[in-house]
A and B are shown apart, each in its own frame.
Chain A
Amino acid sequence: MSKLNINGQTLELDFDADTPLLWVLREQAGLTGTKYGCGIARCGACTVHVDGQPMRSCVVPASAFGPAQAITTIEGLSPDSSHPVQQAWLELDVPQCGYCQSGMIMAASALLDGNPNPTDADIDANMTNICRCGTLQRVRRGIHRAAEIKAQGKTA
């Protein structure tokens, strides 16, 4: 049994040492919001935060983490879908099929945490997740809108 800190809770989970974090989240912790897309860290569907930093969870073994590291999945981003990125995504109807969107939202929220008002160039450099339905234009608009919502929240 290993202890992992996931979404603010310390969970005791039983997994093989080489199991990627993605599969421990999905199969041991039952958190299926984080998706499998490629298994080689190319598509970004498995993006989670580890201590606030975006990480593609399909290629890192879960055994590399301990209870000292805060792992946040899409389920833990906010208790009620109130994160500025989630609000913006709802307002603009960003998702199509939605399968890549957990990863998109986690990548976008991490970007905004480090850069509250990203330019288009910042978005280009930081958002490398892929979406086959083709929501990219709304993802860009959504990040700009989330930045506005976040700024409003701070001044309010």
Chain B
Amino acid sequence: MNRPGSIQPPDDLGDARAATDMAWAVQRADRQALGGSGGSARAPAIGALSRRRFLVGAAAAGAGLSLGVLNPRTAAASASATADEVNAWVVIKPDDSVVIRIARSEMGQGTLTGLAQMVAEELDCDWSKVDWEYPSPRQNLLRDRVWRSFATGGSRGIRGSHQYVREGGAAARLMLVEAAAGRWQVSAAECSAANSIITHKPSGRTLTYGAVANDAAKLAPPLEVKLKDPKDWKLIGQPVKRLDTADKLNGKQVFGADIQLPGMLNAAVSACPVFGGARKRFDAAKVAAMPGVKGVVPLDNNAVAVVADTWWRAQKALKALPIEWDFGDGGSLSQADIIARLDEGLTAETPLIGNQSGDARAALESAETLVEATYSYPYLNHATMEPMNATARWTEDFCEVWCPTQNGEAAHAGAAEAAGLPLEQVEVHKVHLGGGFGRRGAPDYVRQAVLIAKQFPGTPVKLLWSREEDMMQGFFHPITKARVRGGLDADGKLEALHLRVSGQSILAGLMPNRLADGVDFATFQGLLPEGDQRISYRVENLLVDHAMRNTHIRPGFWRGVNVNQNAVYMECFLDELAHAAGTDALAFREPLMRSNPRGWAVLQAVAERSGWASRQEDGRHLGLAVFHAFGSDVAACAEVTVEADDALRIKRIVAATDPGFCVNPQQTEAQVEGSFVYGLSALLYGECTVRDGQIEQRNFDTFPSLQISQMPEVETLVMPSGGFWGGVGEPTIAVAAPAVLNAIFAATGKRCREVPLKRSGLKFA
């Protein structure tokens, strides 16, 4: 039995270790499917120095690292950029332009710009001269992980690296000042730096950063750096424009799917539509003579790819290729079986406890009023706009990969394993992502590309999944149901709550070594006793537990992860309790949030801004939700109308977020707005269902996404209270669905407890 006081959420979810674990989990699944050496998958050993590595290493030692040589984005610029790297984070060119290295991946969430702002803040450089580049995972390996984690998930891009990236900027600044002082033969203490200019205060002499960057690069890095007091920040907290917008307006931005290399072939792939199934046989001869076809390649034991001169021809031949599958055990499972399994878990005994205080069961027995409700939340596909893809070129002593990835190091490891080469002989070029949302932390598609390229040594091959393949071969938001019971005392105060989650565990499916005595603490996001995924309320008698009911469907981390359903379960049920108590939903929460002033502040802010107090006299239907997620406190107040013909319109949402420190408020607003599109798409339509073991939805016709006509007006209140670093990309999605569901109740008096709403009888154009 777990003691509540000792419970810790898995804080590093989405970081390198988790992602690397995931890389191996993917392999393990593949190998287990092979029926062979499951469990023996290991990270490729770092072998003896290869000839190739020796050459790169020698260049690095002799002339400074020119990282860009291996990065298509900066290849031209870096050919001459050798000695201008002040440190790992900062490159300054003679013309004073500044290149800031970004280790995390940009997938739309704005992390790239936020991280650059933080380095530039401490560097005191001219922001108008800032550009950026990605270091590669291989360079990170060869330089003892100087950039630390490349993992971009769990809303950790900024909150997980703010300290060391700012230190990188501050150290570079000290070195530049020291170099200028050396040039002038004066004490560095007499010099100041601002806006890329160093000034010797007594004499008024100045030098630009570009003029001394080469000298600075030769200096030993400072042993200690002091970061600015937040009150002195000039760039952090400012709504500066993104650094990566211009190329997204004219077609110049190269995404992974856009990679074009000389002589490149294209591949289309089909994996067994049932997870855990295998390929029985395929008839390559049937497509060998089709135009442009270069080969048919079996992958692992469960997939087959067609390679052709163009992707269209490859995909066309793939569709014509006769393939027989062995669906395996999963092939007999359908949605009703899964629901039955979850229903059984709603009342089963379970030792998996996430949060416990007092005696919830006894208190529920003796409560004056008992309220009970059952909710459900479905499987969901990430459905990034850009389907999975990767380009690889393999030779027997080196493999290069170009791919959109949320975790360069996991992609590197996955590519090396597939290439059969040590990590030093594999390079991964990170390319902009056409969306990530958690899907691109896994390197399954990278492995496939390398396995295909291995069959065409020396020739680059680009693998692109069709939308249909992408829909079927996802890492699905797990399916769960919840039975929630609450006990009110005679005064209508909540005295006991039991929230039972029944359903699938992500960690059990992807990284079972992360379970703690069988408990998947990620399941309890936003419901844990403490930490950055803690519960927002204090309830005297509380029990939150989990009946783990897994299936063969591959689970994954989907924007917001388990806060999506946990916030529906908690926040909609609190609304039900308030209604049962005859109390206003805001007033009902107040006594439960006295030890949570930040959560209360964002909730009050949205209530006030939305006119919560006067809603009844104004005839408006509002719903509230508040949650603590990824270290931040978020709240939303949704306003809906439901017409006589059951037509639902989500008119307006006021959303507040307190991420502690806010690096870029206009990008925070963009993330909040986007969270409603993703979260409400799921609420209205998003559902993946299982028939004969296969995901039924294959494209956007059966898995629709919110359109602009359904987009509510979102007003964002950014309320940074300072003192901590909370996440931004994911927290707000928690409150999207429950705020709207509670508003629907206000409008109709009817509780919708099943997500999505497409079977609710409500209509939405």
Contacts and interface: CB of A to CB of B under 8 A. Distances in A.
Interface of A: 16, 18-20, 23, 26-28, 30-40, 42-43, 45, 73-75, 77-78, 81, 86, 89-90, 93-102, 105, 123-125, 127-140
Interface string B670-683: 10011111100100
Nearest to B382: A132
B250 interface: yes
A124 B312 contact: no
B: contact size bracket? 35 or more
Interface string B237-252: 0000110111111111
B700 A96 contact: no
Contacts of A128: 707-709
Contacts of B466: 39
Contacts of B246: 81, 90
Contacts of B335: none
Given A27-B310, A124-B708, A93 B467 contact: no
B701 A45 contact: no
Contacts of B266: 27
Interface stretch (B168-176, B432-440, B756-764): B432-440
Where chain B touches its partner, the secondary structure class is: loop
A131 B709 contact: no
Contacts of A34: 251
Given A38-B699, A99-B435, A136 B250 contact: no
A73 B310 CA distance: 20
Given A38-B700, A97-B435, A137-B713, A32 B260 contact: yes
B442 interface: no
Contacts, number: 184
Q: Which of A38, A100, A129 has the most CB of B within 10 A?
A: A38
B245 A102 contact: no
A25 B437 CA distance: 28
Given A99-B434, A123-B708, A134 B676 contact: yes
Given A93-B241, A95-B245, A97-B432, A86 B312 contact: no
Nearest to B313: A16
Nearest to A28: B310
Interface string B507-538: 00000000000000000000000000000000
B1 interface: no
Contacts of A97: 107-108, 384-386, 432-436
A43 B386 CA distance: 11
B109 interface: yes
Contacts of B251: 31-34, 73-75, 102
Contacts of A140: 708, 711
B310 A127 contact: no
Contacts of B384: 97, 99, 132
Contact of A93 (B385, B670, B677, B713): B670
Contacts of A16: 291, 312-313
24 contacts: A20-B312, A32-B260, A33-B250, A34-B251, A37-B387, A39-B699, A74-B251, A86-B249, A93-B245, A95-B108, A98-B245, A101-B249, A102-B251, A105-B249, A127-B707, A127-B709, A128-B707, A131-B705, A132-B677, A133-B109, A133-B674, A135-B674, A139-B708, A140-B708
Given A34-B251, A38-B699, A100 B385 contact: yes
B255 interface: yes
B245 A81 contact: no
In the A-B complex, the 7 residue pairs with the closest CB atoms: A33-B251, A134-B674, A134-B677, A99-B434, A97-B108, A96-B108, A98-B248
Interface in B427-457: 432-437
A53 B206 CA distance: 57
Interface string B380-400: 001111110000000000000
A26 B258 CA distance: 8
A36 B242 CA distance: 25
A131 B254 CA distance: 18
B706 interface: yes
Given A38-B467, A86-B250, A43 B700 contact: yes
Given A74-B251, A101-B249, A130-B707, A96 B674 contact: yes
A99 B385 contact: yes
Given A35-B386, A36-B257, A99-B385, A135 B250 contact: no
Given A96-B674, A130-B706, 18 more contacts: A16-B291, A19-B312, A20-B312, A23-B312, A30-B260, A77-B250, A81-B250, A97-B384, A97-B385, A97-B433, A98-B247, A98-B255, A105-B249, A128-B709, A133-B677, A134-B678, A136-B677, A137-B713
Given A42-B700, A130-B707, A137-B673, A98 B713 contact: no
B354 interface: no
Pick from A36, A99, A102, A129 the residue with the most CB of B within 10 Å. Answer: A99
Nearest to A85: B249
A56 to B, nearest CB: 12
Given A95-B248, A99-B435, A132-B437, A37 B670 contact: no
Contacts of B699: 38-40, 42
B249 A90 contact: yes
Nearest to B674: A134
B298 interface: no
A65 to B, nearest CB: 16
A133 to B, nearest CB: 4
A123 B705 CA distance: 17
Contacts of B312: 16, 19-20, 23, 27
A95 B433 CA distance: 13
B347 interface: no
Given A89-B249, A138-B670, A133 B706 contact: no
